[in-house]
Amino acid sequence: MAADRKRVAGPETSVAPLVEYPIDHQPWTPFTEKRHNSHRQPEDLRPIYLKTGLISEANGSAYIELEKTKLTCGVYGPRPIKRAGQGFSDRGTLNCEIKFATFSCVKRRGTMRDAQEKELSQILSQGLTPAVRLELFPKSNVDIYITVLESDGWGSCVAAAFTVASVALAHAGIEMLDLVAGCSASYVPTSIPSNSNSSSSSTTESSTGAGSTVTPQIFMDADLEEEKYQQGSIVLAYMPSLNQTTHVLQTGKAEGSIISQSVEHCVEACNKIFAVMNHALLESIDQKKL
Amino acid sequence: MSRLDRTRTSAHQLRPFFSSQNLLNRADGSAQFDFGESSVMCSVVGPSEVKLRDEKLDKATIEVVVRPLVGLPGIKDKAREQAIRETLEPLVLSGLHPRTGIQIVVQTMKDDGCILATAFNATILALLDAGIPLKSILGAVTCIVDNNSNEILLDPTTEELANAKSTHTFVFDNKSSITSKEEQQESVDVATLYSDSTGLFSEEEYFECAQICYKAVQAVHGFIRTAVQKKLEKEYQQIHS
Amino acid sequence: MATPAFTFTPSTFQKLHPAEFFRRFTTEGVRPDGRLLDSFRPTTVHHGVISTANGSAMVRIGGTTVVCGVKAEVAEPRLDAPDQGYLVPNVELSPMCSSKFRPGPPSEQAQAVSEAINRVLKESKVLDLKDLCIEEGKAVWVLYVDAVCVAYDGNIYDAALAAIMAALNNGTIKVSGGTAANDENSFKLKLARTPLSATFAIFDTTLTILADPNVTEETISDGQISITLDETGLLCGVTKIGAASCSQRVLKDCVQSAKKRTLQLRGIMNQL
């Protein structure tokens, strides 16, 4: 990493330390037929804690916690675009920026925005833009800034980002067609496939051999340990009242039936998340009245 | 006692000063100030045009750029920029030049400790050279509390700074402190324009350092007056000869 | 009898003449948010909030929230200090916490605060860098201490320093994974001292001192005084920047006020 002149300089390069596990350490595997957190069923989501109004300077803000996944979101806008003279636009624009804090992942992340964060920012924009009534603020821009303080599972991070951004937008009073709820699901094989050459630490590649006969199980809202064994995953951004999907992100390999099943599960889960989002927003209104 | 740089004998002795003004012919004002082997040059351009976004309606905008001895500017230089700019804001009569900009560039020429104090002194000389209206002049000096002897040493060199338990930089102007004669002792209510101290020190050590630095800064103020006086005498002779 | 030509609502007056609006309060000894001139805002400290970090803390001073995480990595030591590790603090002021900050590289304020905290940590010898040595000349620990400002309402220096101290206090370097029983190679960071600070704003030509300025007070103030103290009462840093010259009495009063405040802050930090 090139020396950043605008920060306190550390050593030129540094590596994450190797973690030694003791001989009798048994890491969790999905082949025990239970989830990483043994109290959870495959279709259970992690309990969501959602609160608005933590950033007083922002027009709208929200904070979401899914056990170990923590995100904050600040919304600024609508505010005028800088170069308003160049080309009149009759629709406003939505600008999303997501940043993982350096301490949010197991391996320290860089201070500058890397390609994954830029891609995620695009995904968020694509998922939120259909829900926002941009035609109501021409020549203006809405900025959504999300900071991931702790990440426990990439899929859950993206899903939580959708949720927290929608709640912050609503808190800012920006008119929307509907809230966007985000949900993720992973396809994890829970039984060792018949081909004994498979390694249990495969991620998106399915086991070796001509076609695995293992039907993966759908784990809703998988965390980091479970994602290590996933064959594929899906993240859904869904507008519950309108029954419309704004964004589907599918990775890995899976049969069509599994994918459609997981989309249905995600839609159900999004409806539950919608109730939580509504509750948080109603609470914020009550607080304003006090 | 002899100091590490062997030219000084007292703990409260400053290194020899040197300054020169009007060195750069492209700038409105310029000056170089030396504390012994530490030398800083400063150039001032202003009042001049300023970018619209930095424009202030009722005052001049002061911009400071600090360049280090070697390499590209880092966060230390940014911190020095903020220090110099914030200290000059109340001193410069910026209300006389609204909607303009005063750009100050500070370049370290030689480094033997106390760069910030040297930079402050060079800046005030350059502002005087440029004819920017000021409420008062300032004078800056650094002192340390030595790790081994617990003595307060004025104007340390780099070698002495390496053995410092705490480092103190003070900037005083030449009008705010009130000298009062009580009984037979002259006490001064020292008024600090800028103070920056780091390390480990007690409250008593801090206020003692302030008193010692204030006395030393009187020499700096006198030197600045003499330097400007000499420059004006020379210019007068050049015009009238 | 002349009636005033213009009358304003308080909020309009605040927008048109912010300093004058503020002055009306300070002459009575209070501030618009209801505080006295020398009161600090309610402060909370939470330890160990980020499980992926080696040490973490969240500090809230009024509306300013800072989350700090410590990450330990391994690197080669410097040639002139082969048995010393690295301590790299940084403060992030992102556009999320306030509209004052634009996206992109760190602003001047972020750089100045990072540099100030770096100097306090280094020159007050908070951590013995020799403790971070793994093998002399070959490998040392690097502690990246990043304080992310989540919400900005003034006084970032106090909040960031407190968050960094709290995070370092509960910092553990784990060399082996697994349960706590196998942690003979892990060690807790040992701090020689815990400096904490109190910041005051200098407002107006009367040099009114406002403790713990919020963002509006920072904008209208001319200068700032920051006093950093450790738990034994030794000063670790004194900064007076901006505004006209202050007498010694003002600085002495600030030091006294800072002593009380840091004692209170330590009490809050030690409540687990």
Give A 97-136 residues with CB within 8 A of chain C.
97, 99, 101-106, 108, 111
Model confidence at C10: pLDDT above 80:
yes
What domain count does chain A have? 1
DSSP string computed for C93-143 = E-TTT-TTSPSSSPPHHHHHHHHHHHHHHHHTT-B-GGGGEEETTTEEEEE
Model confidence at C38: pLDDT above 80:
yes
Peptide bond just before A193 cis, omega within 30 deg? no
ipTM: 0.90
Which band of pLDDT confidence, cut at 50, 70 and 90, is reported for residue C181? very low
Q: What is the pLDDT of residue B10?
A: 82
Which of C150, C163, C240 is closest to C196 using CA atoms? Answer: C163
Q: What is the pLDDT of residue A204?
A: 41
Which band of pLDDT confidence, cut at 50, 70 and 90, is reported for residue A19? confident
Q: C-alpha dihedral over C110, C112, C118, C119, to 10 degrees?
A: -170
Which band of pLDDT confidence, cut at 50, 70 and 90, is reported for residue A207? very low
Which band of pLDDT confidence, cut at 50, 70 and 90, is reported for residue B181? low
Q: What is the pLDDT of residue A184?
A: 94
Q: Cβ–Cβ contacts within 10 Å for residue A45, how many?
A: 20
pLDDT top residue among A85 and B17: B17
Instruction: Identify from A57, A61, A107, A171 which residue to disrupt to test chain C contact, counting C C-beta atoms within 10 A and taking the largest count.
Output: A57
Cα Rg for chain B, rounded, in angstroms? 18
pLDDT top residue among C243 and B8: C243
Phi, psi of A11 (to 5 degrees): -70, 160
Q: What is the pLDDT of residue A47?
A: 92
Determine the structural domain holding residue A58 and report its residue range.
Answer: 49-289
Question: Tell me, what CATH number does A110's domain have?
Answer: 3.30.230.70
List the single residue in C71, C150, C177 with the smallest CB-CB distance to A25: C177
Q: Is the dihedral of CA C21, C25, C27, C30 positive or negative?
A: negative
Which band of pLDDT confidence, cut at 50, 70 and 90, is reported for residue A200? very low
> How many residues make up chain A in this entry?
290
Which of A14-28, B54-68, B97-111, B137-151 has the weakest average pLDDT?
A: A14-28
Which band of pLDDT confidence, cut at 50, 70 and 90, is reported for residue C61? very high
> How many residues make up chain B in this entry?
241
Is the CB of residue A82 less than 8 Å away from at least one CB of chain B?
no
Chain C residues touching B190 at Cβ < 8 A = 247-248
Model confidence at C228: pLDDT above 70:
yes
List the single residue in C124, C252, C255 with the smallest CB-CB distance to B199: C124
- Report the predicted TM-score, pTM, of the whole model to 2 decimal places: 0.91
Model confidence at A2: pLDDT above 50:
no
pLDDT top residue among A279 and A191: A279
Model confidence at C134: pLDDT above 90:
no
Which band of pLDDT confidence, cut at 50, 70 and 90, is reported for residue C1? low
Q: What is the pLDDT of residue A82?
A: 78
Asked if residue A267 is part of any domain, the answer here is: yes
Q: What is the pLDDT of residues A180-192, one digit of tens each?
A: 999 999 998 877 7
Please answer whether residues C76 and C139 qualify as being in contact, where contact means their C-beta atoms are separated by less than 8 angstroms.
yes
Q: What is the pLDDT of residues A106-141, one digit of tens each?
A: 889 988 889 999 999 999 999 999 999 999 998 899
Average pLDDT rounded to a whole number, residues A82-104? 86
SS3 A170: helix
Please answer whether residues C31 and C210 qualify as being in contact, where contact means their C-beta atoms are separated by less than 8 angstroms.
yes
pLDDT top residue among A26 and B222: B222
Looking at domain B17-240, its CATH class is alpha beta
Residues 6+ apart with CB under 8 A from A279: A50
- The span from the CA of C93 to the CA of B89, in Å, is 24
Long-range contacts of range A201-206, CB-CB < 8 Å, 24 or more positions apart?
A: A201/A228, A201/A229, A202/A229, A202/A231, A203/A227, A203/A228, A203/A229, A203/A230, A204/A230, A204/A231, A204/A232, A204/A251, A204/A252, A204/A253, A205/A231, A205/A253, A206/A231, A206/A253
Q: What is the pLDDT of residues C65-95, one digit of tens each?
A: 999 999 999 999 999 999 999 999 999 999 9
Model confidence at A173: pLDDT above 60:
yes
Cα Rg for chain A, rounded, in angstroms? 21
Model confidence at A290: pLDDT above 60:
no
List the single residue in B87, B199, B202 with the smallest CB-CB distance to C241: B87
DSSP string computed for C198-248 = EEEEEETTTTEEEES--HHHHHH-SEEEEEEE-TTS-EEEEEEEESS-EEH
Q: How far does the CA of residue A117 sit from the closest CA of chain C (Å)? A: 14
Residues 6+ apart with CB under 8 A from C257: C38, C198, C200, C211
Ordered by start, the domain boundaries in chain C are 35-270
| Average pLDDT value for chain A | 86
Chain C residues touching B195 at Cβ < 8 A = 238-240, 251
Q: What is the pLDDT of residue C174?
A: 76
CB pairs under 8 A between B and C: 100
Q: Cβ–Cβ contacts within 10 Å for residue A130, how many?
A: 18
Which of A251-255, A273-277, B63-67, B126-130 has the weakest average pLDDT?
A: A251-255
Q: What is the pLDDT of residue A84?
A: 63
CATH superfamily name and code, C35-270? GHMP Kinase, N-terminal domain (3.30.230.70)
Average pLDDT rounded to a whole number, residues B24-31? 93
Q: How far does the CA of residue B55 sit from the closest CA of chain A (Å)? A: 17
| Average pLDDT value for chain B | 90
Which band of pLDDT confidence, cut at 50, 70 and 90, is reported for residue C8? confident
Using the beta-carbon criterion (under 8 Å), do A103 and C111 form an inter-chain contact?
no
Is the CB of residue B70 less than 8 Å away from at least one CB of chain A?
no
Q: What is the pLDDT of residues A208-240, one digit of tens each?
A: 444 455 788 889 998 888 888 889 999 999 999
Q: What is the pLDDT of residue B178?
A: 67
Ordered by start, the domain boundaries in chain B are 17-240
Is the CB of residue A82 less than 8 Å away from at least one CB of chain C?
no
